[in-house]
Amino acid sequence: MKKAVIVLAILIVIGFIPFQQHSSVSIRSNYFDVCQQLMNAGDWNRWEPEINSYTDNQISTQSFKSGFLIRTPNQVFNIKNVGANTFNVVKTRNHINYHCFYMVVPEIKNSYATVVIDAKTNVFKWLISRVEPSAEPAYLMLSLKAFMENPRLYYGFTIHEINVAESYLAVKKETILAKNKYPEINKAANDINSFIAQSNIKAVSSLSGAYYPHQADSLQILIGIPVNKQVNSTPAITFMHMPGGKVIVGDFDGKYSERQKVYTAMEKYIQDHDLKKQVLPFERYLNNKAPAGENDIVNMQVNYPVL
């Protein structure tokens, strides 16, 4: 019995012996944006899964000189910004403190950053982390990675990169009065569809449109449909060769007047991922129907050819 007590006491002592755990997480986002997500309580509420599982009235935030506290019904996060890129984080759950230092380091590629993790732990906490993944030192940064690398969560829209083959578009290009934009767009779409039907060619994708300011009261419009081959042009309809390459595609389904939101998100995506725009973007209407007005509900994709 005495030996068993001694062994138990030794095991308890061993369980509390501190040691350091080191790891790192690479995130496809730039250094400054990763730091931004860590230094603001509002951003933690967006990406930390245990925090954002609660409603706003179940979460309290308290700011202090070098950081902030976030309290939820079953845990507390104490975040201190101890340097431009270094964060001291203590998560308290079930009366146990999990203490980590996070240092954000830019990678050679501008669109990537690494978070270096240095955790103060012991054998008991290590054993807990084997059965409770949220106790793992890298858990918070893996959650941040999952958030920042998911465009729907981070940018608010589904955005993805595709490679497209070269193609030909039957295009109607003209300058119109801005006040007549929607009737003229739909007239151009009808003209192209009629041309395709009369020319023994086939549409291979959906209707596209691009619109550029011309003067104070006018626009230049390009309405096109990808087709299977090039035929002779007419005075009204010409052919445009679209080279193959990488295209950033953003999905938008909603009121046409709110389309600028997806453009803004995609501009940030392109900047964050260190991409270069080849030409101006264009819209692809997935139901082959051009918008009839600002209040029209559209299902479309915005396309940015990039390098």
Tens of pLDDT, residues 75-118: 999 999 998 899 999 999 888 888 999 999 999 877 899 999 99
Please give the DSSP secondary-structure letter assigned to residue 255: E
Q: What is the pLDDT of residue 126?
A: 61
Rounded to 5 degrees, φ, ψ at 166 are -65, 150
Q: Do domains 17-149 and 150-166+243-307 have the same CATH topology?
A: no
Cα 29 from Cα 145, distance rounded (Å): 9
Which residue in 207, 180, 177 sits closest to 191, CA to CA?
207
Domain segments of the chain as ranges: 17-149, 150-166+243-307, 168-226
Q: Which of 13-17, 57-61, 108-112, 268-272 has the lowest mean pLDDT?
A: 13-17
Is 17-149 in CATH node 3.30.530.20?
Answer: yes
Q: Which CATH superfamily is domain 150-166+243-307 in?
A: Regulatory factor, effector binding domain (3.20.80.10)
CB-CB contact of 125 with 98 (8 Å): yes
| 264-281 residue pLDDT tens | 999 999 999 889 998 889
CA gap 226, 231 in Å, rounded: 13
